[in-house]
Amino acid sequence: MRIVVLGGGFAGTEAVRVLERRLRHRSDVEILLVSDRNYLLFTPLLPQDPETRRCGLTVCVVGGGYTGVKLIAELQDLFHSDIVPHYRDIDPGDYRLLLVEASAEILRGVHPTLAERARRTLWREGIEIRTGTRVTRVLQGEVEVAGGERIPVGLTVWAAGVVGNPALARVDAEHDRLGRLLTRPTMQLKLHPDVYGAGDAVAVDGQPEASVPIIPAALAHARLAAENIVAELEDRPLGTIEFAPQGMLVALGERDAVVDVLGLHFSGFVAWLFWNALHLWKLVGFRKQLQVAVDWGLVPLFPRDTATTRRPSRCLVYAHHPPAARQPGAAA
């Protein structure tokens, strides 16, 4: 006889243990445990060891440019406004946010006054910033920096720049050091003038300011490529790219930002409003602009969802704690 136990959780493991003890003298009985894992995990004990808990709640963002700074600020908002108030076992001092930048400053390209203002804002929010620190390896549960120091982390986010799509390596054309296809100022590939390129997949030879992987540059590439295709069809001279970044806008979380555009430098709530208005204006179509504007307007009334569990009205745990201390799923 074969007894099959499906599932290797507490119930399945205990059933096998009892059956094995009670039937150990029966040579005609075979006990088979079927499970998708070869271990038993007791999850309630996981967040108790403090070092492991601290490591698991440590997020390291590599790269102090636009993407890295905006991301670390949003993570701070998520932890401070949503995770800590809703999960009673997580205190403000339990999580750690770390921003690592290889150069001597964050937000290179932004006016130095605004970059320093952004740095102070992030530091005041409790975000650790390590400049002049180059990441050499990203390991399981660790980040290694130059000099051999290893920083325990639960999650690493790479925001220090990207390389070209791996598919570009198979294209018979010249590439830059990041693997992007090199084009002429007309947006034609250097070795294949009958092929035009635009966006993050290309770099304009000799014009690094026109090769920055940002939306305005991609739009300028596309417009020129389309116009030159038409010019070729009409046997007219081709135009060349004329693009330089006009500035940078960086959101620093809820209701704060720094703006450096067209020679104007300002920060704070007004900058945050400007950041939102500009991004809203750039959306394609009035319908989408209106939809996003309404969504943003409802944020104060309906904050972001952090769980799908409804609050049980008869739960004694919820009845004795204020809303700020409620933990989703406490009645489960």
pLDDT by residue, tens only, the chain of 332 residues: 889 999 888 888 889 889 988 898 888 999 998 988 877 777 666 556 777 778 889 999 999 988 899 999 999 989 988 888 877 778 888 899 999 999 998 988 778 888 888 999 999 999 999 999 999 999 988 999 998 999 999 999 999 877 888 889 899 999 998 899 999 999 999 989 999 999 999 999 999 889 888 888 999 999 999 999 999 999 999 999 998 877 778 888 878 888 888 778 888 899 888 888 888 888 878 898 899 889 888 877 877 766 655 555 555 555 555 544 444 443 33
How far apart CA 90 and CA 57 sit, in angstroms, is 9
How far apart CA 261 and CA 270 sit, in angstroms, is 14
Q: Say whether 165 sits in a helix, a strand or coil.
A: coil
Residue found by looking up tokens 């006016």 in the block: 111
How far apart CA 47 and CA 42 sit, in angstroms, is 11
How far apart CA 122 and CA 26 sit, in angstroms, is 68
pLDDT at 133: 93
Q: CA 281, 282, 283, 284 torsion: positive or negative?
A: positive
Tokens of 29: 């009985």
> Where would I find the beta strands (DSSP E) of 123-276?
128-130, 135-139, 142-145, 150-152, 155-158, 181-183, 202-204, 247-251, 257-261, 264-267
pLDDT at 307: 60
pLDDT at 243: 87
pLDDT at 10: 85
Q: Is 177 exposed, middle or buried (0-12, 13-18, 19+ CB in 10 A)?
A: exposed
pLDDT at 319: 53
Among 89, 61, 234, 78, CA closest to 160 = 61
Question: CA 230 → CA 220, 225, 235, 239, distances in Å?
Answer: 16, 9, 9, 11
Up-side HSE of residue 215: CA atoms within 13 Å toward CB? 9
Tokens of 315: 């739960």
pLDDT at 332: 35
Q: Are 133 and 104 a contacting pair, CB within 8 Å?
A: no
pLDDT at 330: 39
pLDDT at 71: 93
Tokens of 330: 């406490």
Question: CA 95 → CA 54, 140, 304, 307, 328, distances in Å?
Answer: 6, 19, 20, 19, 19
